[in-house]
Amino acid sequence: TQLLEQSPQFLSIQEGENLTVYCNSSSVFSSLQWYRQEPGEGPVLLVTVATGGEVKKLKRLTFQFGDARKDSSLHITAAQPGDTGLYLCAGWHSGTYKYIFGTGTRLKVLA
Amino acid sequence: ETGVTQTPRHLVMGMTNKKSLKCEQHLGHNAMYWYKQSAKKPLELMFVYNFKEQTENNSVPSRFSPECPNSSHLFLHLHTLQPEDSALYLCASSQVGPGTASSYEQYFGPGTRLTVT
């Protein structure tokens, strides 16, 4: 059983389209991080969301933390080929005292 | 450039070899981590070091042996590995502090792609 489930698992879209990636759990997290990983590289931190209902924007990327702090979403507007990569959510799970990563969403944006 | 470097970037080794992976962080962080990333599996945390002391070992086989001589350097010594150990090994660091969301933000190196033949 995965504590942080991401959906969709794979996504292939055309340049210019919008998309949303979801990160869901049955557990409450004090904060969640989002990372992007490009092929052959390590994950790069994008953002931390730490308050229920919080919305953060990073250029064309909008991150939201659920009111109950059990889920988060990442919305990309007008996707570009440079957005291609593996998107990971992660957070500290107080029940297991572990920092855990989500199952990942692999995004491919076609020119 | 995230401030975390790893060497080598690629490593091919036989099952009877002994090799070491090296990680160095230039961020002044107090915690360092080893992760394993295999195809079709979520990132798996292997070891955690806080202030040079190992605080977590996630049931990792003894053929993987970590070493943390100081807060900036982390090694992973490998011996008698199996083909299923082939994966991307990632090192990360963070600044752990009480009650702050940024404590959990991790900064990763580029990884070492390990192939065991």
CB pairs under 8 A between A and B: 56
A31 interaction partners in chain B (CB closer than 8 Å): 101, 104
Chain B closest-CA separation from residue A17 CA (Å): 26
At B51 the pLDDT is 84
Residue B8 pLDDT exceeds 90: yes
Contact A42 B113 (CB under 8 A): no
Residue predicted with more confidence, A23 or B58 = A23
At A57 the pLDDT is 97
Substitution target in B74, B100, B104 with the highest count of A β-carbons within 10 Å is: B104
pLDDT average, residue stretch A69-90: 97
Who among B2, B42, B43 is closest to A44 (CB)?
B2
Q: If you write DSSP's letter for every residue of B27-96 in order, what string do you get? A: S--SEEEEEEE-TTS--EEEEEEETTEEEEE-S--TTEEEEEEETTEEEEEEES--GGG-EEEEEEEE--
Residue A20 pLDDT exceeds 80: yes
Which chain A residue shows the shortest CA-CA distance from B56? Answer: A98
Q: For B30-80, what is each residue's pLDDT tens digit?
A: 999 999 999 878 889 999 998 888 888 888 999 999 999 999 999 999 999
Residue A56 CA: distances (Å) to CA of A6, A71, A73, A105, B35:
19, 14, 11, 19, 28
pLDDT average, residue stretch B86-107: 84
Contact B2 A31 (CB under 8 A): no
DSSP state of B97: -
Contact B105 A45 (CB under 8 A): yes
Residue B15 CA to residue A50 CA, distance in Å, equals 44
Exposed e or buried b per residue across A57-73, where buried means at least 16 C-beta atoms within 10 angstroms of its C-beta = eeeebbbbbbeebbbbb
Substitution target in B5, B23, B27, B43 with the highest count of A β-carbons within 10 Å is: B43
For residue B2, which of B117, B90, B115 has the smallest C-alpha distance? B90
**Among residues 87-106 of chain B, which lie with CB inside 8 Å of chain A?**
90, 92, 101-106
Instruction: List Cβ neighbours of B65 (8 Å cut-off, separation of 6 or more).
Output: B76, B77, B78, B79
At B31 the pLDDT is 92
Q: If you write DSSP's letter for every residue of A19-80 in order, what string do you get? A: EEEEEE-SS--S-EEEEEE-TTS--EEEEEE-STT-EEEETTEEEEE-TTSSEEEEEESS--
At A93 the pLDDT is 82
At B98 the pLDDT is 62
